[in-house]
Amino acid sequence: MPSRKRAAARHILTLALIASSAPALAGGAVNIYSYREPKLIEPLLQAFTAKTGIAANLIFANSGLVERLAAEGKNSPADVLLTNESGLLIQAVAAGVTAPVKSQIIDKQVPAEFRDPAGQWIGLTRRARVIFAAKDRVQQPAMTYEDLADPKWRGKICIRSGQHTYNVALVASMIAHHGDEKAEAWLTAVKNNLARKPAGGDREQVRDVQAGLCDIAIGNTYYMVAMQKSPEQKAWADAVRMIFPNAADRGTHVNVTGMALAPNAPNAANALALMEFLVSNDAQKLYAEANGEYPVVPGVQASQMVESWGPLKADTLPLAKIAELRKKASEMIDRVRFDAGPD
């Protein structure tokens, strides 16, 4: 184990081996390249090993795993790639480091909008991109994404970089629903409603609402869970309420964490077993509890805190359609100079 840790360190990675003794040896292993932090998925992998006897070897990195898979080629030890958002799944497919998966279990458990049509990836959990509104300054009970372009919000919106993958996906969804011309007009109007240049992460936007720099922020739902659990950030979370945009019509834009099979997986059968385990009802509930996210499997409940927000009506636009429009969305974000902030 020490030598394996040294090898992982040379790649600026974290190696986490989650295994038990005899059962794990009996079941073989599965090697996971993960963009998700070990602490977020260790309970799942421990449950998988306990059920199957397959040891789960986890290599974690914040970035670079798709590139590593491509560089390793046929010599890669990776069986699966685990991502923390859909953009990386799309990047992996484009890089040729995924392989199609055929599974009746996956097809039955995971709705089609959260699967690649060619079987190159599957979604595992969902997060909604919502509005965090100041409790003391925003009385409007419901909003749409389209409302963000209303001039009444001039100087009152905070958001992270438009080129961040979360926002690229949101813009892509607007293009899908409204077409290029209307989506660009909307994006330009949102830009001119910003309180400042886009900066920081989703939590920092909520921080700035609490500080009075803006009245509404755009962010993912699971950050509310993270802030509530942080003594330093709980005051930020307590200062806002979440509004699920478009709840009365098409539904709120959602993104996913996900997984793909590596094209040269040395333990392909074990990889498929892991993928099928992660979409089981029990694993979905455990995953959602650990990460403050929504299960992708219908009928599986989210955590008590997430459930307390009320029902999520999710936009059913297929993620494959969003993936198709990501390049166009990114170009549009640059064209309107979104990250330059308001004119």
Over the stretch 205-246, which tens digit does the pLDDT of each residue have?
999 999 999 999 999 999 999 999 999 999 999 999 999 999
Q: How far apart are CA 66 and CA 3, in angstroms?
A: 24
Element housing 113 (H / E): none
Do residues 93 and 116 touch, judged by C-beta distance below 8 A?
yes
Question: What percent of the chain has pLDDT above 90?
Answer: 85
pLDDT band (50, 70, 90) for residue 140: very high
Question: Region 263-287: what's the mean pLDDT?
Answer: 96
Q: How far is CA 237 from CA 150, 200, 212, 222, in A?
A: 25, 16, 13, 11
Place of tokens 């803006």: 214
Question: Region 275-290: what's the mean pLDDT?
Answer: 93
Structure-model confidence comparison of residues 58 and 15, the more confident one: 58
Q: How far is CA 102 from CA 16, 233, 264, 277, in A?
A: 28, 43, 16, 14
Q: How far apart are CA 305 and CA 237, in angstroms?
A: 13
- Tokens for 11, please give them: 């790649």
Question: 22-43, pLDDT tens digit by residue?
Answer: 333 336 999 999 999 898 899 9
pLDDT at 19: 32
pLDDT band (50, 70, 90) for residue 320: confident
Question: Region 163-182: what's the mean pLDDT?
Answer: 97
pLDDT at 224: 96
For residue 14, pLDDT beyond 90? no
Longest dimension (CA), the chain: 65
DSSP E strand boundaries for 75-138: 80-83, 122-134
Do residues 332 and 183 touch, judged by C-beta distance below 8 A?
yes
For residue 8, pLDDT beyond 80? no
Question: 42-78, pLDDT tens digit by residue?
Answer: 999 999 999 999 999 999 999 999 999 999 999 999 9
Q: How far apart are CA 282 and CA 304, in angstroms?
A: 16
Q: How far is CA 72 from CA 12, 65, 69, 78, in A?
A: 16, 10, 5, 9
Task: Spell out the SS3 assignment of 178-233.
Answer: HCHHHHHHHHHHHHHCECCCCCCCHHHHHHHHHCCCCCEEEEECHHHHHHHCCCCC
Q: How far apart are CA 325 and CA 161, in angstroms?
A: 18
Alpha helices per DSSP H over the chain: 2-10, 22-27, 38-52, 65-72, 86-94, 104-109, 165-178, 180-192, 202-210, 222-228, 234-238, 268-278, 281-291, 304-307, 319-335
Q: How far apart are CA 51 and CA 55, in angstroms?
A: 10
Pairing mode, if any, of strands 157-158 and 254-261? unpaired
Question: 81-116, pLDDT tens digit by residue?
Answer: 999 888 899 999 999 999 999 999 999 999 998 999
Domains of the chain: 2-125+256-307 (3.40.190.10), 127-253+316-340 (3.40.190.10)
